[in-house]
Amino acid sequence: MISETLKKARDYEAKHMSDVSSEERPLFHVTAPIGWLNDPNGFSFYKGQFHLFFQYHPFSSHWGPMHWGHVASSDLLTWNALPCAIAPDEVYDNFGCFSGSGIALPDGRHMLMYTGVQTKDGFKDRSDMEQQQCIAFGDGIDYEKYEHNPVIRMADVTDGIGGIKTDFRDPKIWQEADGTFYTVAAGMDPEGNGRALLFKSSDALNWTFESELSASHGKLGRMWECPDFYELDGKYILAVSLMNVHPDGMFHVGHNTAYMIGTFDHADGKFVSEMIRPLDEGIDFYAPQSVLAPDGRRIMISWMQCWSNASFIPDDVKIFGQMSIPREVFLRDGMLWQRPIREIESHRGSCVTYKNVCVEGEKTFDGISGRVLDMTLLIRPEEAKKLMIKVAADERYDTQILYYPQKNVLRLDRSNGGFDVDMVHTRNIPVETVDGCLKLRILMDRYSAEIFVNDGRHTATVLYPTPLSAEDIIFEADGRCTVDIEKYDLQF
Ligand code: FRU
């Protein structure tokens, strides 16, 4: 039996999905069937397929009462839309089913763990709100909420610090080899500082507070959203999405994503961070979540958007929000590197290459253009003070990728990408050369470019609402440099 609320969402998406023309969607990045999408949720492998859920408001292109949308895929690139999975239809989630995670249970069921946001009397102010962790069980299509929800509340955090019940969300669940379940959720201490809180369970139903895994202590923004925690090559990674950051050279003002590399002691449940860095240094990347694939790869996907820009929504759009490409993460030189999932390579079509070509002033190359492509540039700066690569360009529009070799800076500038509002349009990314070269792999899918710098040591992600007719790629160097270009069209 599905609730009226869920039925309404399912009927609505079935009816309106086809209102969105194929040009309005990217080719291989996940979008909502209709309406608004934010964080990836419930990213998990279940019954031979990857399942991805997302924060979803089908009824408009703006954030609203949160449902969980649902897609599934066997290759992480071609996704099948499935019916809306859960809706805010219970007292304990009457304000929304916020972010969370998914896991295949040993008994064959799929379990979703999410934040039920409850308000009293129709939400008069924030103090009326409680965020609490809830679960639902399903078969990969239909999900039923657990009769004893919620399963974790802020009142269960018994360490004497506790936290604010209005900010306690985004549980990420996993199971250890000995069968024990853990979940890490984002909390906020009474002073307003982010905490990552760890809980433990033997059956995934009854949870006890284990420890404060890590905390901001006033240093890294305020609330930490969407914690993700996993082992990678003998180290532990804690990824968090930070709110209200003051700029400090490494992080920019406002919302950021960060990862920490460190050690984890099961005995005291503490993560000790040895280093911290931004996860993506571009403009549009937030709330990433990872899954361990059956072949051992750790694959991360994120909302390809950020909150500070997410209220500028043109009136005529029917869908808003898309996911990044799933990325393989790995450790190298003591850092977390990312590469696009290798499955993308089987979608490569015709290839155009240039070797060691000189760029001085403006230059275009036969066959180097398009809006859906996988292009790698090896740049030898030589005498250049600046190299600009304009993508999604024509006489009117462009998004600029600028490289300043003497300053070791890569700059993104999408001011001319088709926006008509004054929001964040630029970012500077500190980069380094390897053997005198800068390597950029640029993955474009209609309205976005994801840039993997030096084989994935840095990434920078950017969206642009540029008309699809703008498909030139133009190089312009101030001083002489040489480049190798390898460009593949991507076919789906
Ligand atoms: C992060 C976030 C989460 C929350 C969800 C609500 O983008 O704010 O913390 O669960 O979005 O849609």
Q: What integer pLDDT is reported at residue 125 of this predicted model?
A: 76
Tens digits of residue pLDDT in 295-306: 999 999 999 999
Q: Which atom of ligand 1 is nearest the CA belonging to 169?
A: 10
Interatomic CA distance for residues 279 and 80, integer angstroms? 28
Asked whether the beta carbons of 93 and 109 are under 8 A apart, the reply is no
Q: Which atom of ligand 1 is nearest the CA belonging to 115?
A: 10
Ligand 1 pocket (Cβ < 6 Å) reads 38-39, 55, 66, 98-99, 115, 169-170, 225-226, 286-287
Q: Which atom of ligand 1 is nearest the CA belonging to 223?
A: 9
Q: Is the dihedral of CA 193, 199, 205, 206 positive or negative?
A: negative
Cβ within 8 Å of residue 296, ≥6 positions away = none
Instruction: Categorize the per-residue pLDDT at 1 as very low, low, confident or very high, splitting at 50, 70 and 90.
Output: confident
Interatomic CA distance for residues 375 and 373, integer angstroms? 6
Interatomic CA distance for residues 105 and 119, integer angstroms? 31
Query: Using the 8-state DSSP alphabet, how is residue 324 labeled?
Result: P
Give the residue numbers marked as catalytic.
39
pLDDT of 92 over the 90 cut = yes
pLDDT of 311 over the 90 cut = no
Q: Which atom of ligand 1 is nearest the CA belonging to 66?
A: 12
Q: Which atom of ligand 1 is nearest the CA belonging to 39?
A: 7
Q: What integer pLDDT is reported at residue 128 of this predicted model?
A: 86
- How far CA 17 is from CA of 9, 20, 65, 479, in Å, comes to 11, 6, 19, 50
Vertex 123, ends 206 and 209: CA angle to 5°?
Answer: 20
Cβ within 8 Å of residue 229, ≥6 positions away = 172, 174, 184, 196, 213, 236, 237, 238, 239, 264, 271
Q: What integer pLDDT is reported at residue 190 of this predicted model?
A: 92
C-alpha of residue 363 to centroid of ligand 1, in Å: 43
Q: Which atom of ligand 1 is nearest the CA belonging to 303?
A: 7
Strands (DSSP E) contained in 13-105 are 35-46, 49-57, 67-73, 80-86, 96-104
Interatomic CA distance for residues 224 and 226, integer angstroms? 7
Among 77-81, 312-316, 392-396, which stretch is predicted with the lowest mean pLDDT? 312-316
DSSP per position, 118-170: EESTT-SSGGGEEEEEEEEEESSS-EEE-TT---B-GGG--SS----TTS-EE
- How far CA 316 is from CA of 19, 20, 35, 36, in Å, comes to 12, 11, 11, 13
pLDDT of 123 over the 90 cut = no
C-alpha of residue 86 to centroid of ligand 1, in Å: 16
Vertex 60, ends 327 and 127: CA angle to 5°?
Answer: 85
Among 157-166, 200-209, 386-395, which stretch is predicted with the lowest mean pLDDT? 157-166
Residue of 55, 279, 286 to test ligand 1 pocket, by largest number of atoms within 8 Å of CB = 55
Asked whether the beta carbons of 75 and 45 are under 8 A apart, the reply is no
Q: What integer pLDDT is reported at residue 185 of this predicted model?
A: 98
C-alpha of residue 225 to centroid of ligand 1, in Å: 7
C-alpha of residue 439 to centroid of ligand 1, in Å: 34
Cβ within 8 Å of residue 66, ≥6 positions away = 55, 56, 57, 88, 96, 97, 98, 117
Q: Which atom of ligand 1 is nearest the CA belonging to 100?
A: 10
Residue of 54, 164, 169 to test ligand 1 pocket, by largest number of atoms within 8 Å of CB = 169
Mean pLDDT within 371-394: 98
Q: What integer pLDDT is reported at residue 252 of this predicted model?
A: 95
**Lookup result for tokens 């002489």:** 480
C-alpha of residue 39 to centroid of ligand 1, in Å: 7
pLDDT of 448 over the 80 cut = yes
Residue of 66, 134, 170, 308 to test ligand 1 pocket, by largest number of atoms within 8 Å of CB = 170
Interatomic CA distance for residues 100 and 169, integer angstroms? 8
Residue 482 tokens, joined: 């040489």
C-alpha of residue 97 to centroid of ligand 1, in Å: 10
pLDDT of 121 over the 80 cut = no
Strand pairing report for 472-490 and 194-201 = unpaired
Q: What integer pLDDT is reported at residue 113 of this predicted model?
A: 98
Residue 210 tokens, joined: 């284990």
Interatomic CA distance for residues 429 and 431, integer angstroms? 6
Mean pLDDT within 130-149: 98
C-alpha of residue 405 to centroid of ligand 1, in Å: 38
Nearest CA to ligand 1 atom 6: 98
pLDDT of 258 over the 80 cut = yes
Vertex 30, ends 26 and 32: CA angle to 5°?
Answer: 100
The number of CA neighbours under 13 Å toward the Cβ of 458 is: 20
Q: What are phi and psi of 447, to 5 degrees?
A: -115, 15
Q: What integer pLDDT is reported at residue 169 of this predicted model?
A: 98
Q: What integer pLDDT is reported at residue 35 of this predicted model?
A: 98
DSSP count for the chain of H helices, then E strands: 1, 31
Instruction: Categorize the per-residue pLDDT at 415 as very low, low, confident or very high, splitting at 50, 70 and 90.
Output: very high
Q: What integer pLDDT is reported at residue 126 of this predicted model?
A: 80
Q: What integer pLDDT is reported at residue 368 of this predicted model?
A: 98
Residue of 37, 54, 98 to test ligand 1 pocket, by largest number of atoms within 8 Å of CB = 98
Q: Which atom of ligand 1 is nearest the CA belonging to 241?
A: 1
C-alpha of residue 38 to centroid of ligand 1, in Å: 8
pLDDT of 124 over the 80 cut = no
Q: What integer pLDDT is reported at residue 127 of this predicted model?
A: 80
Q: What integer pLDDT is reported at residue 27 of this predicted model?
A: 98
Residue type, 362: E
pLDDT of 435 over the 90 cut = yes
User: How many other C-beta atoms are found inside a 10 Å radius of the C-beta of residue 25?
Assistant: 18
pLDDT of 403 over the 90 cut = yes
pTM of the model: 0.97
Tens digits of residue pLDDT in 224-254: 999 999 999 999 999 999 999 999 989 999 9
Instruction: Categorize the per-residue pLDDT at 82 as very low, low, confident or very high, splitting at 50, 70 and 90.
Output: very high
Nearest CA to ligand 1 atom 9: 225
C-alpha of residue 307 to centroid of ligand 1, in Å: 10
Interatomic CA distance for residues 172 and 238, integer angstroms? 11
What share of the chain in percent tops pLDDT 90? 95
pLDDT of 102 over the 90 cut = yes
Interatomic CA distance for residues 134 and 436, integer angstroms? 52
Task: List the beta bridge partners of residue 451.
Answer: 442, 460
Q: What integer pLDDT is reported at residue 296 of this predicted model?
A: 98
Mean pLDDT within 311-338: 95
pLDDT of 91 over the 90 cut = yes
C-alpha of residue 206 to centroid of ligand 1, in Å: 24
Residue 329 tokens, joined: 């993460």
Instruction: Categorize the per-residue pLDDT at 162 as very low, low, confident or very high, splitting at 50, 70 and 90.
Output: confident
Residue of 63, 224, 225 to test ligand 1 pocket, by largest number of atoms within 8 Å of CB = 225
Residue 486 tokens, joined: 């390898």
Q: For all residues of the chain together, what is the average pLDDT?
A: 96
